Amino acid sequence: MVSLADFGPEVRAEVKQVREVVSDLHKQLITWNLVVWTAGNVSQRLHTADLMVIKPSGVRYEYLTPSSMVVTDLHGNVVDGTESPSTDTLSHAYIYRHLPDVYGVVHTHSVYATAWAAAGLDVPPVLTLMGDEFGGPIPVGPFREVASEAIGEAVVETLKKYPKSPAVLMRNHGPFTIGKDAEAAVKAAAVTEWVSHTIWAARQLGDLTELPQADIDKLNDRYTNVYGQH
């Protein structure tokens, strides 16, 4: 079995840094009210080796530290760490193997995103914030068995049909989000819940009109290329 000692100093340095990033970002899941108890996880892929850092399984958020994070290869085999990795590890690994630009994956059961997933409905693009972040609807993916790579497979399939969306609402389960790093995936998870809540509330007020695709494309283009610090 491979261990971290088999890797060079550059990899070990990145592991150390990514353990801190991933541990820290789990606090954001609490800040944005995306998770209950231990249900939810963040991972980040390394740039220096085919490895990823992920949450340990079933550990309460207040007990997470950089050293309790688990390092696995991209088939979910543990390479470093004293804990068992998240039960969603195989799906995170599948996503990294099949979407080479993705370096961060997040899974939550956030309330309103999961409500849309339970109802089997896409969140319709009726807000500028959705044009920005998703470039269209937030799609629902199929129901799949948990703890195997079946979920990762379905996430990848669904995202191929919605290439601008960083989020999939897995039916009867909850959202999975991706990004160029773990922070971007956490951001997508937070925005997914926020717009799921907003549009859920809007539906109680009356019929909603989707934004025209041309406006959505303009929003998405500007947000992707201009917004933020460059």
Nearest to 103 by CA among 163, 146, 166: 166
**Contact with a copy of itself (CB under 8 A): which of 32, 97, 98, 164?**
32
CA–CA separation, 74 and 47 (whole Å)? 12
Query: Shortest Cβ distance from residue 65 to a copy of itself (Å)?
Result: 14
Using CB under 8 A as the binding rule, whether residue 203 contacts a copy of itself is answered as yes
What is the nearest approach in angstroms of a copy of itself to the Cβ of residue 13?
24
Of the two residues 7 and 194, which places its CB atom closer to a copy of itself in the complex? 194
**Residue 95 engages a copy of itself in binding (rule: CB under 8 A):** no
Interaction between residue 215 and a copy of itself (CB under 8 A) = yes
Nearer to a copy of itself, 1 or 226 (CB): 226
Binding characters for a copy of itself, 106-125, by CB under 8 A (x = yes): ---x-xx-xxx-xxxx----
CB atoms within 10 A of CB 199: 20
Phi-psi category of 147—alpha, beta or left, where left has phi over 0 and alpha has psi -120 to 50? left
Nearest Cα to 179, choosing from 28, 69, 4, 72? 28
145: contact with a copy of itself by CB under 8 A? yes
* One-letter identity of residue 89: T
State which residue, 97 or 109, has the beta carbon closest to a copy of itself. 109
Distance between CA atoms of 74 and 155, rounded to whole angstroms?
16
Least CB distance from residue 134 to a copy of itself, whole Å?
13
> What is d(CA 87, CA 101) in angstroms, rounded to the nearest whole number?
23
Kind of pairing, strands 167-170 and 140-141? parallel
* 3-state per-residue secondary structure call for 94-147: HHHHHCCCCCEEEECCCHHHHHHHHHCCCECCCCHHHHHHHCCCECEECCCCCC
Which residue from 1, 9, 37, 100 is in contact with a copy of itself, where contact means CB under 8 A? 37
Is 214 one of the binding residues for a copy of itself (CB under 8 A)? no
Q: How far is the CB of 187 from a copy of itself (least distance, A)?
A: 5
User: Which residues of this protein are in contact with a copy of itself, per CB under 8 A?
Assistant: 32, 36-39, 56-59, 83-84, 87, 109, 111-112, 114-116, 118-121, 126-129, 143, 145-147, 172-174, 187, 190-191, 193-194, 197-209, 211, 215, 218-219, 222, 226-230
